[in-house]
Amino acid sequence: MHERPLGRCLPAKQDVSQEVQLTEDEQRLAEKRRSMTVHVVHEAVRREGEEELKRTPSALFWSGLAAGLSMGFSLITEGIIRSCLPVTPWRPLITKLGYSVGFVIVILGRQQLFTENTLTAILPLLHSHGDREVLRKVARLWGVVLLANLAGALAIAWVLGNTAVFPPQVRSAFAGIARASLGLGFGVVVLRGVFAGWLIALLVWVLPFAESSRFFVIVALTWVIGIGAFSHIVAGSVDVLFLATTGAAGFGETVGGYIVPALIGNILGGVALVAVLNHAQVVG
């Protein structure tokens, strides 16, 4: 009986290079995924910041005003959901999904939000090593956008508190949400503002990676801001200005007790913890 040669019992060797065949589209996708490094994200955000610095004050103002008005939908949606749910320990987990609505509108609608510019506008400034002309443009951008955001927040807060657009039970829910932002103390609001500014700047940083998941990334990170009761200068201003325009709180209390410390915290969180550190890792 003849024995077979050993080689005939073994499967033929395959060329490893032929095992995976990619189409041209798949190869481009693989290259795109591979090349999306931190340097690419940094450059994308920096270029966006440079484009924003080139915009005229009037364009910035109208976009910022639209953002301030749109942020009112965070209070509106959260208040409606809250008014429909029983008082339970888990209620905030659901109601704070409404808090994300204003951010979704503003960010996907490409409206000017002050806290986004603590990252996008700062990267060109860091890249220029503190050039005075760039610093002047950053100061102009911040001033115009912040003023416009607060003007929009005041306008929508007045409408919510002084018209019959929403029934009394929903307006009562608005007031309950807003009262949670006052009386915390200056330092506490600053610290909570740091976390809010940190998360919004991180949101801007990760969006170039998100692609088709942008909606879910925005909802997830802003939901954390809401459930953590972190102080956001625009969304929170709608809340406290609702109290001020209805006479439930004084304007001095809302400005000194919330708006100013939230602004300080948001700037510290966005600039120091995200813009500077992420720029440093790229430069390094």
Q: Environment class of residue 187 by beta-carbon count within 10 Å: exposed (0-12), middle (13-18) or buried (19+)?
A: exposed
| pLDDT band at residue 5 using 50, 70 and 90 as cut-offs | low
30 pLDDT exceeds 90? no
Which of 64, 156, 42, 150 is closest to 109 using CA atoms?
Answer: 64
Cα 232 to Cα 234: distance, rounded to the nearest angstrom: 6
* 142-182 residue pLDDT tens: 899 999 999 999 999 999 999 999 999 999 999 999 999 99
11 pLDDT exceeds 90? no
Which of 240, 119, 121, 251 is closest to 189 using CA atoms?
Answer: 240
Q: Is residue 238 part of a domain?
A: yes
Q: Which helix (H) or strand (E) holds 126?
A: helix 122-127
Cα 9 to Cα 14: distance, rounded to the nearest angstrom: 15
Q: Is residue 208 part of a domain?
A: yes
Domains in the chain, number = 1
- Tell me how crowded residue 250 is: count the other CB atoms within 10 A of its CB: 12
Cα 190 to Cα 258: distance, rounded to the nearest angstrom: 9
pTM (2 decimals)? 0.81
- Tell me how crowded residue 151 is: count the other CB atoms within 10 A of its CB: 15
- Which comes out higher in pLDDT, residue 20 or 134? 134
Which amino acid type is present at position 13?
Answer: K
The average pLDDT across 53-71 equals 93
| pLDDT band at residue 16 using 50, 70 and 90 as cut-offs | very low
Q: Which helix (H) or strand (E) holds 176?
A: helix 168-179
**Average pLDDT taken over every residue of the chain:** 85
Which amino acid type is present at position 14?
Answer: Q
Q: Is residue 79 part of a domain?
A: yes
* 204-240 residue pLDDT tens: 888 877 778 899 999 999 999 999 999 999 999 999 9
Q: Tell me what pLDDT residue 17 has.
A: 43
Instruction: Spell out a b/e string for 16-50, using b for 16 or more CB atoms within 10 Å of the CB, else e.
Output: eeeeeeeeeeeeeeeeeeeeeeeeebbebbbebbb
Q: What's the domain range around 42?
A: 38-283
Q: Is residue 135 part of a domain?
A: yes
Which amino acid type is present at position 36?
Answer: M
Least confident interval from 9-23, 25-39, 89-103, 134-148: 9-23
Q: Tell me what pLDDT residue 86 has.
A: 93
256 pLDDT exceeds 60? yes
Q: Would you tell me the crossing angle of helices 132-162 and 38-54 to the nearest 10 degrees?
A: 80
The average pLDDT across 169-197 equals 94
Q: Is residue 157 part of a domain?
A: yes
H helices, E strands: number in the chain: 16, 0
CATH number at residue 198: 1.20.1080.10
